[in-house]
Amino acid sequence: LRNAAIAELKNISNLSSLEEYRVKYLGKKGELTKILRGMGGLSKEERPIVGKLVNEVREELETRIETMKTELNNKAKNKKLKEEKIDVTLPGNKVNFGHRHPLMKVLEELEDVFLKMGFEIVEGPEVETVYNNFDALNSPDNHPSRDKSDTFYITEDILLRTHTSPVQIRTMKEKNPPFKIVSAGRTFRFDDVDDTHSPMFHQLEGLVIDKNITMANLKHTIDMFIKELFGEEMKTRFRPHYFPFTEPSAEVDVSCLSCKGEGCPDCHGTGWSMELLGCGMVHPEVLKNCGLDPDEYSGFAFGLGVDRIAMVKYGINNIRLLFENDMRFLNQF
């Protein structure tokens, strides 16, 4: 029996068959127990001999089973360790980080420049009253921009703002001068889409009200912010223009950064980029509409096209790219 048991043990390869094996030989109904139970049929002299033999075999099998158990346990542990080994030298999985949209980057950069120049940032709503968007800004009743073919009306008195200038009205009514504010956000016009126009675009409005503010302060502020944003070599050009809410008024272009002379695709050889902003001295009528005395206070205002600034800054020749969300384009920023 001992030899058969030892031979059988060699074929056992896992813990559950080892347990079956233990029960088979050492359990209550096991082979060795059977022999002990059958000892009643033996003579007095034979009993201690057989009893001793059975106990010896039992002890030997117990030791062997214990050893086998430890071996099997170790084997299982090693197998697990091998399988679950982590190769720390393997290259990691690439994590794609999101990033700011180029337009938002420019917008934040613009706000930073104006904060540095002592301006305060204020907010204004995208849905505005016709009064704030046109009337209070001295816009004549028959001004073409009021037309339904140019402006998105919600009701007769409510519209999607066509520019950020209504924030001027809100600020002048709320704050006591002197103040310097900027306000950026979305604006809407019934414009046909082309390379430089979109029906939804972004403007940044600036307004400075104090005593003795002149056109020189306006020119200096615009020049400074353009140089801060694009670099010292950037030049500005002020062209006389008309806005109902400023007098005098001007439009501003900046020099074409990538100018290739005569046949330049960006400026058609003029040396000047597309129009970037409108500006001027706040019209006395507008000051009066907001309860300010034009004999005491004066000020300047400007409104810049943020999308166009982004285009000049990053050399983008088509405004559509800013709104199409093509990842091949966006991933370049």
Binding-site entries: 247
Query: Cβ(307)–Cβ(202) under 8 Å?
Result: yes
Between 65 and 167, name the residue whose CB sits nearer to ligand FA5.
167
Which of 57, 182, 302, 316 is the binder for ligand FA5 (CB under 6 A)? 302
Minimum distance of ligand FA5 from residue 192's CB (angstroms): 9
Tell me the closest approach of the beta carbon of residue 291 to ligand FA5, in angstroms. Answer: 19
Assess 283 for contact with ligand FA5 (CB under 6 A).
Answer: no
Q: Which residue is nearest to ligand FA5 (CB)?
A: 305
- Nearer CB in complex with ligand FA5: 266/307: 307
Binding mask 217-256 for ligand FA5 (x = CB under 6 A): --------------------------x--x--x-------
Is-contact 148 181, C-beta < 8 A?
A: no
Binding residues for Mg(2+), by number, are 247
By beta-carbon proximity to ligand FA5, the closer residue of 57 and 138 is 138
- 167-196 mask for ligand FA5 (x: CB under 6 A)? ----------------------x-x-----
Closest distance of CB 207 from ligand FA5, Å: 8
Least Cβ distance, residue 242 to ligand FA5 (angstroms):
10
By CB under 6 A, tell whether 124 contacts ligand FA5. no
Nearer to ligand FA5, 124 or 280 (CB): 280
Q: Which of 9-17, 119-127, 198-206, 208-216 is the region at the interface with ligand FA5 (rule: CB under 6 A)?
A: 198-206
Cα 200 to the center of its chain, rounded Å: 21
Using CB under 6 A as the binding rule, whether residue 128 contacts ligand FA5 is answered as no
Among 197, 219, 227, 320, binds ligand FA5 (CB under 6 A): 197
Residue 326, CB-side half-sphere exposure with 13 Å CA sphere: 8
Three-state SS string across the chain, please? Answer: CHHHHHHHHHCCCCHHHHHHHHHHHHCCCCHHHHHHHHHHHCCCCHHHHHHHHHHHHHHHHHHHHHHHHHHHHHHHHHHHHHHCCCCCCCCCCCCCCCCCCHHHHHHHHHHHHHHHCCCEECCCCCEEEHHHHCHHHCCCCCCHHHCCCCCCECCCCEEECCCCCHHHHHHHHHCCCCEEEEEEEEEECCCCCCCCCCCEEEEEEEEEEECCCCHHHHHHHHHHHHHHHHCCCCCEEEEEEEECCEEEEEEEEEECCCCCHHHCCCCCCCCEEEEEEEEEEECHHHHHHCCCCCCCCEEEEEEEEHHHHHHHHHCCCCHHHHCCCCHHHHCCC
Min dist. Cβ of residue 306 to ligand FA5 (A): 8
For residue 157, the number of C-alpha atoms closer than 13 Å in the C-beta half-sphere is: 1
- C-alpha triplet 215, 218, 221: angle, nearest 5°: 150
CB of 125 vs ligand FA5, minimal distance in Å: 16
Find the binder of ligand FA5 among 25, 134, 201, 230 (CB under 6 A): 201
Judged by CB, which is closer to ligand FA5: 31, or 275?
275
Q: Which is nearer to ligand FA5, 65 or 159 (CB)?
A: 159
Contact positions toward ligand FA5, by CB under 6 A? 163, 165, 189, 191, 197-198, 201, 203, 243, 246, 249, 275-280, 301-303, 305, 307-308
